[in-house]
Every structure is written in structure tokens, then in C-alpha cells.
A and B are shown apart, each in its own frame.
Chain A
Amino acid sequence: MIRPYATTLILMFTVYCLGCNSKGPSASDPNQITVGVAFETLQTEYWVAGFDAIKSELASRDIAVLEAIADGDPNRQLQQVKNFITRRVNGIILVPKDAKSCIPAIRAANAANIPIVLFNRPASETDAKSVAVQANNFEISKETVSFLIEQARKSGTKTKAMIVLGDLGDINAVGRRDGFEAAVQGNEEFIEVVARVPSEWNQEKAQAGVVNALQANPDIGLIFTSSDFLLPSIISALKAANKYHKFNEPGHVIMGGFDGDATAYQMLRDGYLDATGVQDVYFEAKASVQAVLDMRDGKDVEPLIQDPGFVIHRDNMEEKAASTWGANVQPAN
């Protein structure tokens, strides 16, 4: 039984090899620049906005795009990057699943001499060469939480606080947590952190954690979430505890977030959210595309390009709306 199979397989392999062109596909227009954009996920508004901003930036420069979404699977993402290389792209913009499993993909791009830029998530320390564009998570979070603490100080009493953590395998989540802790440090007479709720970037886990924390500490008066996409889970838990009120209503829980998505912007407008740290997605998209082109032209590019971001709150809302990406998209729900 194995013989006919082997014969057929050998025939197929021969046909495949005869069809093979070791130089790869020839471009229809050799002057056309093509960039492969591979995202780990499009699960949150931020990633969708980033994906659209990059595509729009590339289109504005007449650069063709190849797209790929890995749905959270680093193995699939590695194959997608290899496919980009097979398609002979001129550059790759990658949102990796995490800082470590992307390194083989960076190595593959390095071996093919294709510039690779990591959007929003840098790789761990490695000999593989890439450029990362990333928000300054620490500073933006610190500034946001400092604003929240200022609000809490106005009450004149010590406020109990909660942070909803992200996936601590993600360097962004670590930066945001550290920014929160740094803002609290030195303000212990006004703030007491009573709950650090892990979410692993999962809305259900976040909701369960916030519900539990509110049961254990019903007098929590300040909540900071490591990402705005977790806000719906927090709202749900606050509503269940009858603690979801506007800033000018009694019982208001001071709330802040990170990202600047559409939900957060709407909550700011409605008076439920006090502040959120905004990642400037337009800056990050532009910087990523520029870095790919500069690397392609052989220019020196800094390994980490930082998006300084900014904090949007009630007092500067009108002024900052134009550069807040969440103000320009519809909320997901």
C-alpha cells in the first residue's frame, strides 16, 4: 500500500520543484514598495485603530499592504511573517503576541534583510535586530494616576484604591503597573491600595476580580485600569454594587484608564471617567512606517521610538479631542 503513495508523493514533489522559482515571486512593478502588517489580534478598539492608522499612513505614501492577523497564536504569526518574506515585502510592521515568542520572526526578517518594526510591543533583549515604537507606559500612567490622586485629595480623607492589572507577561502592562505604583508612592497619606486585580487582558477575569474586590472593600473610591478595553467590565461590577455615579454625584468612584479608546472618551464626556492616558496611535503609526522606510534606505534608526502620549481629563477634553483616537471612532458597544 505504501508504494503507490510514495510514487504519487514523489511525482507531486517533482511537479512542485519544477514549478518552483528559487528567486521567489517577481513583482509586477519593481518600484512598488510593499509592507506586510501582521497584528497579533484585532480584539480591542486600540488594535483596530492602530491597524487602520498604519494602513492609512501606508496608503497616503502609495505603499501597498499585505495584512495578516494571528488571532493570538505566535506560531501562526511566525508563519505569516515567513509568508511576507516569501512575498518579498520591503518591510514588516508587527504587533507580536509577547516580547519573547516574536524573536524567531525577527530573526527570519533579519536573515532576509527585511526591516522589521514592532508596533507597541518591543521584543525582549536579543541579538535579533528590530525597531520598536511604543508608548511611554510608565510616564503616561504615572501622570494619569497623579491626576486621579489630586482628585482624591480634594475629598480630604484617605481614599482606598484598586488597580486592574494587565497580562504581566506583556511589557506594556508592567510599565502601566509601575507607573501606577510610582504615582502612589509618596502619597500614602491620601491613598491606600487595597486591591490589585489581575485580568490577563481578559474582560471576564477583570469583572470577576473587580466584583470580588468591591465586596471585600465596599468603600473603594479610586479605580485605575491598565487598559480602557476593561472599562465595560468595571462599569458592570460598579453598577452591580450601586457605585456607578457621575463625578458631580455623591458616591462617585474616581476612575482612570489607559489607551484613550472610544468608550473612555464617551465616559469622560458623560462625567463617569475622570482621566485616561492616551496612546497617540497616529504618531505611532506614522513613526512605524517612517522607521521601515528609513531602515530600508540604510539610515540609522533608534531601536526604541517612544510615543510620549498625554493625559486627557475633564479640564482639557476639548483641547485634546482632535489628537485622541477614541474621539474619532465609535465605541464598540
Chain B
Amino acid sequence: MVSRFVHSGYLTLLLCGVYCLAVGTWVPGFFTLENAHNVLLALLPLLVVATGQTVVLMTAGIDLSVTSIIAITSVIGAQLITSDGGPLAENWLATPIAAIAMLCLGVGLGLANGICVAVLKMPAFIATLTSMMFLSGLAIWWTQSEQIYNLPRSFLSIGNQLGSVLLITILLTGSVHFLINRTLFGMRLRAVGHNPLAARTSGVPVSKTIVWAYVLSGFTAALASVLITGQLETGSPVQWENNLLDIVGATVIGGTSLYGGRGSVIWTASGVLLLSLIDSSLNLLSLSHFTIMMIKGAVILLAALLDTLRYRVNEGNH
């Protein structure tokens, strides 16, 4: 029973509840509707991008390029619609066109990552790390480090209205949850992550499955970029560049395995919630950024250790 509990990913959700009760009583402002609103608005873009990361981790891969995809799509989208000379500035369809362009770019970059990993057989770590470096550099060169401001209100409202962000996140996470748990693609993801050789022998299109996982990750990064650019009202070539640890960390804390074959969007949601609660409460306590980083790092390390223990137990059972 205990083993099943630890293996299920329920642990993180329980930790969220315990953490809330433990800190909520003495952290000033933690139990307020205002804080709940802030935490929710901040965690939803993280959940969106972590959902894509979950799918990639399930294939035993990793996508380190997500923050640079967020940055490059942010500046391209913003440049299209800024009233400071954007080509679509006067167009009444500016917002949907920019959002679609950002999503298409995200999908394209995800596809490139997927091809590097699945077709060219590059290690995921190197393929996506080099993508990250290239795209980050490209975003800075393209904008000459300039932030892009004066975006239309209709675009901003996608990211800074809790209702729209919540709706988009529920639609995305619900779809990916369905995809993982109720479709052949989900079964293939697990099979590829557990043992790609066995999966290939069983007729699973391994390369295709991996490519689709990275495409999905690129898509979710671009979708998160739409929300973040709206929240900050700015297209930035360094958008979210410091948040990679949070994205991978939240996914692992939730219970998705770094070794592949095991993952769930709901687990990731639990991981994102726990990380956001820690972040919010420590910020409310006015702790320094470095202390917060150390505590979050320790939590992620513990989660990774737990993942390793689970993996070893599973290996032993087989």
C-alpha cells in the first residue's frame, strides 16, 4: 500500500496539502484570495510548458530548449503586432495571427529537435542544449537586446486575465492527459521510454513517436510564450531564460521519471503546484532569491533521488 502510494505520484499532492497547512498559518498573506490569484496566474504558464516536458521525459529524453523557444517566439510574435512599427499593428486580426505564428514556430522548432534526436540519433541533452544556445543567441541578435513593448490589449488579455489563462491551460492539459492515457500514442510513449528496442521489435514507430513528443513540447513552449508575453506586456529575447530548472524540476517533483516510461500530466500539475507554493511562501517571507533557489534546488534534488530509488526498485522487480 505504502509502496503503491509512493509510486503513484500522490505523494506530491499530499505534500502540497501538508505544506499549505504548515506554512499557511504563519506566512503572512499566504491564505488570501489575492495570493491564491497570484499563485494561480504564475503557475499556469509553468504548467503549460511542463506538460510538454512531461511527454518528452516519458520517452527518456529531455528538452532543454523550451526557454529559448519561449524567448524566440515571444520576440517574433511581439514584433509582428507592436504598435512601434509591427507589420500587423493596424490589422484587426493581429492577435490571432501572431498567436498562430508563435505556435507554428514552436511546432517547427520542436520538429527540428525531434528530427535531431530521433532521426539523426543525437543525444537529447546535446541536441536540445545546442538548440537552446542557438535560439537564445538568435533572439538576442534579432532584437539587438531590445524589449518589444506596446502590444495590443487583445493580445495582452490572453495572458493577464486569469479566466483565459485557466481555460487555455485546462484545455491543453486535459487534451494531453487524454492523449497519454486514452490513446495509442500514450501507450507508445511509455513503450519507447521503457525500452526503445523492445518497442521497435513490437512494431512501435519509435522515431515517429519521439519526433511527436518534441513537437508537442515545442507547441506547449510557444503556448506558454503567448501567456507570458501577455502577462509581462513585453516581448523579450531573454524571456524566462532562468526558469528551466523550474520546468524540469516541477515535472520530476510530480513523479515523471527521468528514466522514461512513466509520467502523468496530473502528477506534473502536483509538482508545479508544490514548487509554486514554495516559491510564493518564501517570497512572502521576504527571503533572498539565493535562499529560495537553494531550497527549491534541495526539493528538486530530493525528488530526483526519489525517482532514482523508484527506478532501482522497479529494475529489481523485473
Q: Do A and B bind each other?
A: yes
User: Residues of A with Cβ closer than 8 Å to B?
Assistant: 1-2, 4-5, 8-9, 11-12, 15-17, 19-25, 66-76, 78-80, 82-83, 85-88, 98-101, 103-104, 124, 167-169, 200
B231 and A24 contact, CB distance less than 8 A: no
Cα of A103 to Cα of B230 in the assembled complex, Å: 12
A83 and B20 contact, CB distance less than 8 A: no
Cα of A11 to Cα of B21 in the assembled complex, Å: 13
Q: CB-CB < 8 A to B36: which residues of A? A: 16-17, 20
Q: CB-CB < 8 A to B195: which residues of A? A: none
**Closest CB in chain B relative to A81 CB, distance in Å:** 10
Cα of A85 to Cα of B38 in the assembled complex, Å: 10
Q: Does B161 contact A (CB under 8 A)?
A: no
Q: Does B48 contact A (CB under 8 A)?
A: no
Identify the closest chain A residue to B14 (Cβ).
A8
- With A100-B147, A100-B149 known as contacts, the answer to whether A25 contacts B289 (CB < 8 A) is no
Q: Does B152 contact A (CB under 8 A)?
A: no
Mark the stretch among B25-33, B109-117, B130-138 that contacts chain A.
B25-33
Interface residues of B in 16-50 (CB under 8 A from A): 16-17, 20-21, 24, 28-29, 31-36, 38, 42
Q: Which of A15, A21, A99, A168 makes the CB contact (< 8 A) with B32?
A: A21
**Closest CB in chain B relative to A21 CB, distance in Å:** 6
- With A83-B283, A98-B147 known as contacts, the answer to whether A104 contacts B231 (CB < 8 A) is yes
Q: Does B243 contact A (CB under 8 A)?
A: yes
Q: Which of B34, B264, B286 makes the CB contact (< 8 A) with A66?
A: B286
A12 and B149 contact, CB distance less than 8 A: no
How many A-B pairs fall under 8 Å by CB?
A: 133
Mark the stretch among B210-218, B234-242, B310-318 that contacts chain A.
B234-242
- Closest 7 interchain pairs by CB? A19-B31, A100-B149, A86-B29, A25-B28, A101-B234, A100-B147, A25-B29
Number of interface residues of B (CB under 8 A): 51
Q: Does B183 contact A (CB under 8 A)?
A: no
A9 and B13 contact, CB distance less than 8 A: yes
A73 and B242 contact, CB distance less than 8 A: yes
Identify the closest chain B residue to A128 (Cβ).
B233
5 pairs of residues in contact across A and B, judged by CB atoms under 8 Å: A2-B177, A2-B266, A12-B13, A79-B283, A100-B148
**Closest CB in chain A relative to B116 CB, distance in Å:** 28
B181 and A1 contact, CB distance less than 8 A: yes
B32 and A86 contact, CB distance less than 8 A: yes
Q: Which of B33, B145, B270, B279 makes the CB contact (< 8 A) with A20?
A: B33
**Closest CB in chain A relative to B192 CB, distance in Å:** 21
Identify the closest chain A residue to B288 (Cβ).
A69
Q: Does B232 contact A (CB under 8 A)?
A: yes
A22 and B33 contact, CB distance less than 8 A: yes
Extra A-B contacts (13), CB below 8 Å, given A68-B289, A75-B228: A5-B270, A15-B20, A15-B21, A24-B32, A68-B286, A74-B234, A75-B240, A76-B242, A79-B279, A82-B34, A82-B38, A87-B284, A101-B236
Cα of A23 to Cα of B33 in the assembled complex, Å: 8
Q: CB-CB < 8 A to A85: which residues of B? A: 34
**Closest CB in chain B relative to A137 CB, distance in Å:** 18
**Closest CB in chain B relative to A125 CB, distance in Å:** 9
**Closest CB in chain B relative to A327 CB, distance in Å:** 27
B288 and A83 contact, CB distance less than 8 A: no
A19 and B24 contact, CB distance less than 8 A: yes
Cα of A126 to Cα of B32 in the assembled complex, Å: 30
**Closest CB in chain A relative to B174 CB, distance in Å:** 10
Q: Which of A5, A16, A67, A74 makes the CB contact (< 8 A) with B31?
A: A16
A86 and B34 contact, CB distance less than 8 A: yes
- With A79-B283, A124-B149 known as contacts, the answer to whether A12 contacts B17 (CB < 8 A) is yes
B31 and A86 contact, CB distance less than 8 A: no
Cα of A20 to Cα of B31 in the assembled complex, Å: 4
B228 and A87 contact, CB distance less than 8 A: no
Cα of A307 to Cα of B105 in the assembled complex, Å: 45
Q: Does B209 contact A (CB under 8 A)?
A: no
**Closest CB in chain A relative to B160 CB, distance in Å:** 7
Binary interface encoding of chain B residues 238-277 relative to chain A, with 1 for a CB under 8 A from any of its CBs, else 0: 1111110000000000000000000010100010000000
B17 and A101 contact, CB distance less than 8 A: no
Identify the closest chain A residue to B286 (Cβ).
A66
Cα of A83 to Cα of B38 in the assembled complex, Å: 8
**Closest CB in chain B relative to A169 CB, distance in Å:** 5
Q: Does B144 contact A (CB under 8 A)?
A: yes
B228 and A67 contact, CB distance less than 8 A: no
**Closest CB in chain B relative to A9 CB, distance in Å:** 7
Q: Which of A72, A104, A168 makes the CB contact (< 8 A) with B232?
A: A104
Q: Does B146 contact A (CB under 8 A)?
A: yes
B29 and A169 contact, CB distance less than 8 A: no
